[in-house]
Structure 1
Amino acid sequence: MNFAYTMQKFQDWFTQQWIIIWGRKLNPKDINWLMGPFGEMEGIGENFIQELAQSEDLEILRNCQSVGLLNSMDLLKLPQEDLTRLSKGVIQFYENTSEYGFKFKVNWNLSFKIFGILINKLFSQRINQLNIPSSQPADSQEISSELIQLIDKHSKEVNYTIWLRKLKSSGQIIYSGIYGICEIPSGTICIKAVFPLPKGNATIILKPKVGEKGELILQSIGKKFGDPGFYFLLSDSKNSIWSLYHSSFSDELMIHEKNQKLYAIQTLRLWNFRVVTFQYEIENR
């Protein structure tokens, strides 16, 4: 039987061992569409950016201007009729994400709120990653948003685009994710978000579609390995790679334009029960 690294926090070891028991051992060459950077045991946050740049000899560009999560919406290869219908404001946002500011509200399902508090206490606050607020203020909270690029020192090509988001009130990191696209085994082009964790990562594969009113809908919903959805990956004590696909988790993000402003609603579900909903106001600054 394979084992996770032992010289780490028990809760990290336990969750990694759970992935080994219930997941599958993989050859990274066979899952290029899924692979992404892994974190180290000392924590994630902004330290991870420095560590990744050093390990791959990359240059860090911070506070990038006129940079988007996507270089072009055309990369998603949406049907032409969908691309024509898609809101121009939404296209502008994904191609120039660095120029936008955010406010958001969190609305927990009370049945799952204690689960969110435990995750924050045991993992998120310590590793500075996936730190979803458990409180629900009446007013929207402002988020600072920074796009960071890691580029090849010689070719100047972009290897990674990292989206770092913090609560402005406290400076606490909410998400530090690496964004790009991938082609899943079915041939569908999806948006991929990789969130480094100790000795592994959480990866979300989101399938895009365009709604009737020009809104962009991203869904991480699937039934089996290779579908859109939630994946956990890790490297064990022998550097073997393991992955666990969670069909019980789903994420849907809908972003639309109204009165020259953008709004988004994101809903996380577990076994089709709503866990938490985020409401975003997005404004070009």
Structure 2
Amino acid sequence: MVSVGAWSWADKASRIGWKTVGRRVDLDGAQSWLRGPTAGSGVVRDGWLQKEADRIGGAVVPGSESDGLLHDFGALTGPEFDPDEIDPRIREFYEHTAQWRMDAWTQWTRGFGVPGSAIEYLYGKRVQQLALPVQPLAVAHGVDSEVIEIVDATGEHAGSAWLRKLRKSGDFMYSGYYRATTLPEGDGPSVHVTFPLEDGNVQVFLKPSVGEGGSLILTSPAGKFGEDGAYTVVAEKNADYASRAPIHEVFHVYVDDEGVLRTDHVLKLWGLTAVRLHYRLTPKG
């Protein structure tokens, strides 16, 4: 069995690797758009919430009326995106996410299943973060989700934590922090998701657009630094470093012919499709 100390060194080596390929950034200055919650050493789960609230002088508000990933879906309004063109049921999901039940299915592409299993076992399950199940039956019993609000020092909504756990095992799949952010190179607000990790995080900026029938399409493409896409941020020796990550995603959120809210999710690595996911979303009760 690998010791805790050995894993700590392995995680540190990973951060040094991202530092090497990244650039130094000023999270309190020009690159403040990359400021996001981070976790302490060891297991992530939801331990980062209070740390983030303390950082901004705010508070964690579990069970608040602001139970959506976005406090106001209208915050995504921009020159190329009109939230009023989106099906109202999709808006309802984003503004009151905790009131919806999620069922999920996964399908890994040939060639990615084996490394995906290794990452899930050696990293995702160990730290209880970014643990995308490889075995389809792992999500057969559904996914439990909880939304917890964080407010700033004035009591205003700062962001929403979405905690997703496998219903059968209780293991965390994702622990993410959601808000709307406008990028330096952006033409409007993006859905900004941060996944806290030890002394760093993975961040994804998703560009919204209107699809057929009032569906919502969220895309994190390849691009320049400062544009929509995925980033890895690490802290090393009192300095912060950021790099574009080769992760590209597309979410298509739509209402099917029977009135059921669904999402098709495609995740690519270096332009190659690694896994496809499908979510069925139904109102609780």
- Check whether TM > 0.5: yes
Asked whether the equivalents of residues 89 and 260 of structure 1 are also in contact (C-alpha less than 8 Å), the reply is no
Percent identity between matched residues is: 28
Distance 1:45 1:81, change over 3 A: closer
Asked whether the equivalents of residues 193 and 203 of structure 1 are also in contact (C-alpha less than 8 Å), the reply is yes
Shift of the alpha carbon at 1:174? 0.6
Following superposition, which runs of at least 4 residues in structure 1 exceed 6 angstroms of deviation?
A: none
Asked whether the equivalents of residues 34 and 182 of structure 1 are also in contact (C-alpha less than 8 Å), the reply is no
CA distance, structure 2, for counterparts of residue 21 and residue 255 of structure 1: 36
Name the structure 1 match of 2:46: 46
Q: Report the AA paired with residue 253 of structure 2.
A: I
1:83 aligned to 2:83? yes
Structure-2-length-normalised TM-score: 0.90
SS of match in other structure, 2:71:
coil
1:35-81 Cα distance to aligned partner (Å, 9 max, x none): 11111113211222244345555432223445211122221114588
Asked whether the equivalents of residues 165 and 174 of structure 1 are also in contact (C-alpha less than 8 Å), the reply is yes
Name the structure 2 match of 1:26: 25
Asked whether the equivalents of residues 221 and 229 of structure 1 are also in contact (C-alpha less than 8 Å), the reply is yes
SS of match in other structure, 1:30:
coil
Name the structure 2 match of 1:114: 114
Shift of the alpha carbon at 1:11? 2.0
Structure-1-length-normalised TM-score: 0.90
Distance 1:131 1:106, change over 3 A: same
CA distance, structure 1, for counterparts of residue 112 and residue 195 of structure 2: 22
CA distance, structure 2, for counterparts of residue 275 and residue 58 of structure 1: 38
1:137-161 Cα distance to aligned partner (Å, 9 max, x none): 2984311111111234x63222331
1:159 aligned to 2:181? no
Asked whether the equivalents of residues 80 and 209 of structure 2 are also in contact (C-alpha less than 8 Å), the reply is no
Shift of the alpha carbon at 1:235? 0.6
Name the structure 2 match of 1:270: 269
1:208 aligned to 2:205? no
Asked whether the equivalents of residues 60 and 151 of structure 1 are also in contact (C-alpha less than 8 Å), the reply is yes
Shift of the alpha carbon at 1:9? 1.3
Name the structure 1 match of 2:150: 150
Name the structure 1 match of 2:125: 125
1:10-37 Cα distance to aligned partner (Å, 9 max, x none): 2211211111111101111111222111
Asked whether the equivalents of residues 191 and 206 of structure 1 are also in contact (C-alpha less than 8 Å), the reply is yes
1:176 aligned to 2:172? no
1:176-203 Cα distance to aligned partner (Å, 9 max, x none): 1000011111233100000001110000
1:66-103 Cα distance to aligned partner (Å, 9 max, x none): 52111222211145884343111111111111111100
SS of match in other structure, 2:74:
helix
Name the structure 2 match of 1:252: 250
CA distance, structure 1, for counterparts of residue 182 and residue 229 of structure 2: 13
Choose 59-68 or 142-151, whichever is displaced more. 59-68
**Total equivalences in the alignment:** 277
Name the structure 2 match of 1:3: none
Name the structure 2 match of 1:37: 37
SS of match in other structure, 2:135:
coil
